[in-house]
Copies of this chain bind each other. A is one copy, B any other.
Amino acid sequence: MIQITIIGSGNVAQHLIKAFSASKFIEIKQAFSRKKEALLHLLDATKIVTSFDDLETADLYIISVSDNAILEVSSLLPFNNQLVVHTSGTSSIELLDSKNRRGVFYPLQTFSKNKKVDFSVIPFCLEAENTADYKVLETAAKSISTAVYSINSEQRKALHVAAVFVNNFTNHLYQIGQEICEENQVSFDILKPLILETADKIKTLNPVDAQTGPAKRHDSITTDAHLAFIQNENQKNIYKILTQSIQDNGKKL
């Protein structure tokens, strides 16, 4: 049984409390929140503390606060040589105050408040300063997810950049697709099955093998016709650079 204390009451903190509470291998020892009410729907009032001085000993302290508060919170903790981790994809392990044994416990997913999260498929990227601490993080992560990875800070940086491409930028392309539809009185709904199928294909196909379309075929009649059709200069520019990148196979180093 691992005793875990969660520090924070935001989106990720709440999802973690819910998931750990359902595991028989984990005991939520305490949770810290500036306001007790924020967590009363998830935990017994006796387990919620509003002052760092009320924190008791636990096997693992998970700081789940905004990136720019991690440094301050970790330095305010009134104890030493305990295992303390943050949940950030972008912050280094070194951001944590070195008075404690440090680690990272990063669930790579976008969390929406109103959408149920199936933690069992969410990848957890773990990092610790020594093997024993890593084992604790691994046991904790495996109690709620089947996808657990050892990822150092440099690899996590690469993952975050890659995530921007496949999540933020992809979503922006959806937005452009929607705008092109709306400007031409076509329902964006028509494209939704295609969007879902495009994503679904990564389960079984390498993206490079799944690539189709006029750019891939070097079908310049169609790509020229598309560029003539697009009026928005920004969209035209994105069309050109991505078409070129597909034709160079993304390799222009």
Within 8 Å of chain B (Cβ to Cβ): is A232? yes
Q: A80: shortest Cβ distance to chain B, in Å?
A: 30
Choose one: B159, B187, B210, B237; the contact of A181 (CB below 8 Å): B159
Which of chain B's residues has its CB closest to A253's CB?
Answer: B232
Q: In the bound complex, what is the Cα–Cα distance between A196 and B167 (angstroms)?
A: 9
Within 8 Å of chain B (Cβ to Cβ): is A147? yes
Binds B, one of A37-45, A133-141, A240-248: A240-248
Q: Which size bracket describes the interface of A in this complex?
A: 35 or more
CB <8 Å contact, A203 and B207 = no
With A178-B207, A194-B108 given, is the CB distance from A245 to B121 under 8 Å?
no
CB <8 Å contact, A175 and B211 = yes
Q: In the bound complex, what is the Cα–Cα distance between A215 and B251 (angstroms)?
A: 24
CB <8 Å contact, A166 and B162 = no
Q: A246: shortest Cβ distance to chain B, in Å?
A: 5
With A110-B198, A232-B252, A248-B234 given, is the CB distance from A169 to B165 under 8 Å?
no
With A108-B194, A123-B190, A123-B193 given, is the CB distance from A158 to B170 under 8 Å?
no
A-B CB contact pairs (8 Å), 29 listed: A109-B193, A109-B194, A122-B193, A125-B190, A151-B186, A151-B190, A158-B181, A159-B184, A162-B176, A163-B191, A164-B226, A165-B173, A165-B176, A165-B177, A166-B174, A167-B194, A168-B242, A169-B173, A169-B238, A169-B242, A170-B173, A171-B210, A172-B207, A174-B202, A175-B250, A195-B199, A234-B253, A237-B241, A241-B241
